[in-house]
Amino acid sequence: MKIFISGGTGFVGGHVTRELLHRGHTIRLLVHRRSPELPGVEQFEADATRLESFRTAATGCDAFINLVGIIREFPSRNITFEKLHVEATANALAAAQQAGIKRYIQMSALGTRPDAVSRYHQTKFRAEELVRSSGLEWTILRPSLIYGPRDAFINMLADQMRMAPVMPVIGSGSYRLQPIHADDVARCCALALEMPDTVGQCYELCGNDRLGYEDLLDAIAAAMGRQAPFKPHIPLGIMSRIIPVMQRLPQFPITADQLQMLVEENICDGCWKKTFLFEPRDFREGIREYLMPVRT
């Protein structure tokens, strides 16, 4: 199968591309700028937010995978949830339809729902609604926090621990996450393409390990070969007032949207395993592979 991927050059996209190539598929990637090509991978230089730049790019492909998404907005650079979630999805659907492609996979996010509070989830849901009404043979994947060697969140926390063994915790720290490895997300994506029963279905993807935020911090420290960090608690009410002001600084590590998503938890029931028939990787083992210090 020849598969067109938008958003395929990012963290998750690299895992999806490798999984599809391993399964014998060929890939055409939408890229901002060309890089050395891999065997089985074509590149099409365009902008996912400008349909005119890639309207016919998927011609000759059998399926379309849309992985475009951001976790943080930078309005001054025209990087917004509206453009990258909603408009880019509308463009992806139009390009698929232009190419006569019926099979379509949309990467969404766990927590996406019609009554979502965060702008991130609101725009993800609007993108899902476009997919559901497209007339294509769609499958939607909603992964939990995705981790792996090039992830943003786990590596950010690890970098903070390397600077100092103090990790401030907002609120109670009891809110739970259920991370899933990028390889497992990629495997579900590839399997969904190959399984007709997944058409018209939405799957929430999560790992087996359900951890409170404080437990997550301790697991990261252990993977790095360190003692559990000191975790002073900062009242949620205080941070709710500080973050909307400080998030204007690009280097500030959290936004009001991200805080909302953190405290409302990120867990699922794991029913996806009944469809895709494999067990996800163990979180502690998975992060150890890239956080464990190199011994010399």
DSSP string, 110-128: TT--TT-SSHHHHHHHHHH
| pLDDT surpasses 90 at 37 | no
Give the pTM: 0.95
44, 85, 229, 262, 293 from 106: Cα distances, Å: 19, 11, 38, 23, 36
In Å, how far from its chain's centre is CA 74?
18
Residue 100 predicted with pLDDT over 90: yes
Segment 246-273 shows an average pLDDT of 92
pLDDT surpassing 80 at residue 261: yes
Confidence band for 294, pLDDT divided at 50, 70 and 90:
low
Q: Within the chain, what is the greatest distance between any pair of CA atoms?
A: 57
236 in Cβ contact with 143 (< 8 Å): no
- Domains parsed from the chain with CATH numbers: 2-146+180-205+268-280 (3.40.50.720)
